[in-house]
Amino acid sequence: MPIASPEVYAEMLDRAKAGAFAYPAINVTSSQTLNAALQGFAEAESDGIIQVSTGGAEYLSGPTVKDMVTGSLAFAAFAEEVAKKYPVNIALHTDHCPKGKLDGFVRPLLAASKERVAAGGAPLFQSHMWDGSAVPLKENLEIATELLAEAAAAKVVLEIEVGVVGGEEDGIVGAIDEKLYTTVEDGLAMVEALGLGEKGRYMAALTFGNVHGVYKPGNVKLRPEILKEIQDAVGAKYGKEKPLSLVFHGGSGSLLEEIRAALDYGVVKMNIDTDTQYAFTRPVVTHMFTKYDGVLKIDGEVGDKKAYDPRAWGKSAEAGMAKRVVDACEHLRSTGTTLAK
């Protein structure tokens, strides 16, 4: 199917919140990891979100070029073509973008989508994230208000972060302190500034102890009940039930019951990167270790072309990552929920 239209993406997010499930948002950095994500969503019969970070976008442009916009445009064009062969809806998203990179990443992409929409086409990306966690809340929401207007004009959903995700991702470091927990007051201030859809559609990454990186299950101390408290407070003030569409960042090492609780409280998108990176790389390690005498030209021999052909280990890598995407869909209850059925 083609990449999700703005209308299809809106329906995807609405159905997820109503059905208490979420879409895995899979970070990719290459055509191989993109294909692996598509394969996983198709096998799970789940619609999904595929995204690039600032570092991923740079890498997609070429390691010596390092241009986020070039990489993003190339990714979107490639994804638009190959996604047509899969029986699920896929939305494209850009991940964490701090203030210093807005002018070199999100704003040019929004401008390109706005131009396409004005000409009767579809936006390049279905959603973009503004990561204002490193600036004061007032400035975060001022920038979010400006970006929301631009996104609405481009028929794009905006994602924002209120609170701080701990750990490190693509050079963005969040301290592990009390800011890991978004307050009810923060949530109310967000809605006062951005509304509840009348100014444009947005998703909110509210933090409840989330930490980026690699952690064993049980080591991340999450408090998903915070999401319910904020939903209830906003709902009571504005007369709406579960009014916010929420995003779960830093999910590696989370217990399944914590993930499922977050879904019940309005999470519709969960970012997955660390786990899929490992799932992609692990089969490559097995291939290299077990076929080392074919991969390497040892003692003047010629090796085995079938062993060192990148497609040989690439297929295993893609299959490993696809399986992890299937698992993610099961964890997030999105298995079998595609709109294509």
Beta-bridged to residue 202, according to DSSP, are: 158
CB atoms within 10 A of CB 27: 24
Residue 4 gets which letter from DSSP? P
Q: CB of 190 within 8 A of CB of 138?
A: no
H or E element, residue 8 = helix 6-19
Q: Taking the CA atoms of 140, 262, 43 and 324 in sequence, report the sign of the dihedral they define.
A: positive
Q: How far apart are CA 130 and CA 150, in angstroms?
A: 12
Q: How far apart are CA 158 and CA 9, in angstroms?
A: 12
CA dihedral 268, 271, 275, 280 (to 10 degrees): 100
E-strand stretches of the chain: 23-27, 48-52, 90-94, 127-130, 157-162, 167-169, 172-174, 202-206, 246-248, 267-272
Q: How would DSSP label each residue in 19-46?
A: HT--EEEEE--SHHHHHHHHHHHHHHT-
Q: CB of 71 within 8 A of CB of 56?
A: yes
Two structure tokens written together for 225: 């009940």
Q: How far apart are CA 25 and CA 339, in angstroms?
A: 17
Q: CB of 329 within 8 A of CB of 19?
A: no
Q: Which of 14, 67, 95, 186 is catalytic?
A: 95
Q: How far apart are CA 318 and CA 320, in angstroms?
A: 5
Q: CB of 200 within 8 A of CB of 216?
A: no
Which of 191, 269, 274 is closest to 232 using CA atoms?
191
95 classed as catalytic: yes
Catalogue the active-site residues: 95
